[in-house]
């Protein structure tokens, strides 16, 4: 995850004056904005700060690399070279992510979770004998499906108007629709986004992209597997906690052993902290 702090700045144009030498000295390479304004700024002999321009694209930097001095006839910024990031860009939404341990799920009711900022609903489809992960919003009025119920036919039912969905996200019933009305429930806009999901290592995983091209993603790419978890000779413990911060804060905390004897003083079996 990359963060760029940027601001917009006008173009810098150098106009020599009669008091300046005919050949201005060389100057250091600078970052230039591509914005054209009516403002003309004279460069001084003091060091100039590099400027990052973020007018349109936040992922591109433009830098002037030409070492040649500006002449009296030049009235445009130096040549610009686009700096492209090296390597492939990581797609956060084309990966498998764990949602919840199976031991913490109840097959009788839907569960609401938030993963990668996506609100999802987890529910047991007894017709397919599989756990399902849907977008937690009914396509009708965006009511949370996690507040709904599993009806007597094993479908996920919205708590607001009773719309029912099968394990593929298709709407199978709109109770308010007249019997002789067109089959509104079969329309694409009446369906809810269903994410690919699977169970591995006692954990429910999901692929946070409902595009049809990922429908068979499990056949092409599987979640990371830890054989020791399924090995009966090992002892494993599953748990589930909701914590109101991102994974990067949690990882930083787990990788910081210096805080343990102080933040967990009297709770965990650790060495006696210094100074106590």
Q: Which helix (H) or strand (E) holds 251?
A: helix 247-254
What are the boundaries of each domain within the chain? Answer: 97-229, 243-275
pLDDT band at 169 (very low <50, low <70, confident <90, very high): very high
Is domain 97-229 given the CATH code 3.40.50.10490 in the classification? no
3-class secondary structure per residue, 19-67: CCCCCCCCCCCCECCCCCCCCCCCCCCCCCCCCCCCCCCCCCEEEECCC
Looking at residue 83, its pLDDT comes to: 53
pLDDT at position 273 is: 64
Predicted TM-score (pTM) of this structure: 0.63
108: which residues sit within 8 A by CB, 6+ positions away?
124, 150
Query: Is 122 within 8 Å of 110 (Cβ atoms)?
Result: yes
Structure tokens at 227: 């054989």
Q: pLDDT tens for residues 113-122?
A: 999 889 999 9
Q: Which tokens sit at 135? A: 């977008």
Three-state DSSP class for residue 254 = helix
* pLDDT tens figures, 64-78: 333 444 444 445 555
Q: Which band of pLDDT confidence, cut at 50, 70 and 90, is reported for residue 47?
A: very low
Is the alpha carbon torsion for 78, 79, 84, 86 positive or negative?
Answer: negative
243 pLDDT tier (thresholds 50, 70, 90) = confident
Structure tokens at 234: 């090992």
Of the pLDDT bands very low, low, confident and very high (cuts 50, 70, 90), residue 200 is very high
pLDDT of residue 116: 87
Give dist(CA 101, CA 78) in Å, integer. 57
CB 59 within 8 Å of CB 79: no
Asked if 248 and 1 count as a contact pair (C-beta separation under 8 A), the reply is yes
- Is residue 101 classed exposed, middle or buried when 0-12, 13-18 and 19+ CB atoms within 10 A define those classes? middle
- Whether the per-residue pLDDT at 55 is higher than 50: the answer is no
Half-sphere exposure of 256 (CA within 13 A, CB side): 10
Q: What pLDDT, on the 0 to 100 scale, is given for residue 268? A: 75
pLDDT tens digits for 36-46?
444 434 444 44
- In this prediction, residue 113 carries a pLDDT of 93
Q: Is the pLDDT of residue 232 over 70?
A: yes
The pLDDT value given to residue 275: 65
Give, for 194, the enclosing helix (H) or strand (E). Answer: strand 194-195
For the chain, counts of helices (H) and of strands (E): 4, 13
Q: Among 48-62, 79-93, 156-170, 190-204, where is mean pLDDT lowest?
A: 48-62
Task: Count CB-CB contacts under 10 A for residue 228.
Answer: 10
Compute the distance between CA of residue 65 and CA of residue 63 in angstroms, rounded to an integer. Answer: 6
For the cut 80, the answer to whether the pLDDT of residue 202 exceeds it is yes
Classify residue 189 by burial, with Cβ atoms within 10 Å: 0-12, 13-18, 19+: exposed
Q: How far is CA 59 from the centre of its chain?
A: 16
Question: Which pLDDT band, with edges at 50, 70 and 90, does 186 fall under?
Answer: confident
| Residue 93 predicted with pLDDT over 80 | yes
What is the pLDDT at residue 81?
A: 53
Task: Identify the helix (H) or strand (E) that includes residue 203.
Answer: strand 203-206
**Over residues 93-98, mean pLDDT:** 95
């Amino acid at each position: 995850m990359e963060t760029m702090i940027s601001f917009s700045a006008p173009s810098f144009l150098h106009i020599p004056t009669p008091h300046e030498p005919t050949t201005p000295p060389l100057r250091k390479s600078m970052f230039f904005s591509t914005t054209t304004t009516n403002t003309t700024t004279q460069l001084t002999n003091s060091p100039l700060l590099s400027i990052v321009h973020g007018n349109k694209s936040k992922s591109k930097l433009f830098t002037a690399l030409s070492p040649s001095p500006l002449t009296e006839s030049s009235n445009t910024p130096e040549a610009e070279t686009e700096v492209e990031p090296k390597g492939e860009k990581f797609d956060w939404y084309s990966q498998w992510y764990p949602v919840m341990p199976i031991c913490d799920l109840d097959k009788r009711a839907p569960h609401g979770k938030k993963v990668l900022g996506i609100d999802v609903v987890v529910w047991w489809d007894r017709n397919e004998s599989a756990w399902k992960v849907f977008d937690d919003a009914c396509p009708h009025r965006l009511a949370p499906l996690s507040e709904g119920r599993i009806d007597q036919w094993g479908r996920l039912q919205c708590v607001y108007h009773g719309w029912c969905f099968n394990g593929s996200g298709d709407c199978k019933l709109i109770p308010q629709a007249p019997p002789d009305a067109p089959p509104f429930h079969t329309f694409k806009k009446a369906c809810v986004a269903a994410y690919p999901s699977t169970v591995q290592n006692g954990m429910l995983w999901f692929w946070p992209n409902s595009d049809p091209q990922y429908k068979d993603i499990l056949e092409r790419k599987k979640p990371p597997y830890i054989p020791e978890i399924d090995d009966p000779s090992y002892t494993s413990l599953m748990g589930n906690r909701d914590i109101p911060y991102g994974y990067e804060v949690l990882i930083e905390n787990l990788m910081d052993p210096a805080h343990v004897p102080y933040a967990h003083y009297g709770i965990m079996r650790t060495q006696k902290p210094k100074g106590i």
